[in-house]
A = this chain, B = another copy of it.
Amino acid sequence: MKNRITELRAERGWTQAELAQRVSVSRQTINAIETGKFDPSLPVAFRLARVFALRIEEVFVDDQ
């Protein structure tokens, strides 16, 4: 499961810490998701899509 979070965050000029605050997780969690350590839970994925004003499928790419 890939994601476009680093790119989408950069477009908006947000730091990892800022994004973390917007979706109510720790900075380390955002970093781990961006660097592919693990996939977020479904609720966190929804919150991420929401702060980017995108659909989940536009943020996360299922590579089967």
Nearest-Cβ distance from residue A62 to partner chain B, whole angstroms: 4
Separation in Å of the A22 CB from the closest CB of chain B? 14
**Interface residue ranges of A20-51 to B (CB < 8 Å):** 39-43, 45-47, 50
- The complex is assembled from copies of this chain, and their number is 2
Asked if A62 meets B43 with Cβ closer than 8 Å, knowing A55-B55, A55-B57, the reply is yes
Docked Cα-Cα span, A57 to B62, in Å, equals: 15
Residue of B nearest to A49 (CB): B57
Residues in chain B near residue A47, CB distance under 8 A: 62
User: A39 and B39 in contact (CB under 8 A), knowing A1-B46, A46-B1, A55-B57?
Assistant: no
Q: How far is the CA of A1 from the CA of B43 in the complex (A)?
A: 7
